Structure 1
Amino acid sequence: MKNSTISDYFNTICEFRQAHPVVKCQPLRTNDPGIMTVREALNGLKEILENKYEKFKGMALSAEISRGITNLPHVLYACILPPGQLVPNGIYTVICFDLLGRGALVGCVESKVTSKGLVTVQRKKKPGLLPIDVDGASERTKYNNVFVNPKEFYYPLENSEMLERHIAESLGLALSLLTLSISTKALTEVKK
Structure 2
Amino acid sequence: MTQELALGIMRVAILLKYGGVYCHGQVIWTNAIPEHLFKYDAVASPGWHQLGAWPDSVSHTTILAKRNSEYLLKLRALHAQNRKKRFWFVDQFLSYKLVEQHPDIMLLDRHLQVACLNHNCHPTWLPGYQALFPENPPGPAFSWQNDTLSVLWDVFPSLELDAVKYTSGPVVDAARRVLHKAGITLQELTAV
**TM > 0.5 between the two?**
no
TM range (shorter): under 0.3
Q: Relative contact order (C-alpha < 8 Å, sep 6+): which is higher?
A: 2
The structure with the largest alpha-carbon Rg is: 2
Give the TM-score of the pair, scaled to structure 2.
0.26
Give the TM-score of the pair, scaled to structure 1.
0.26
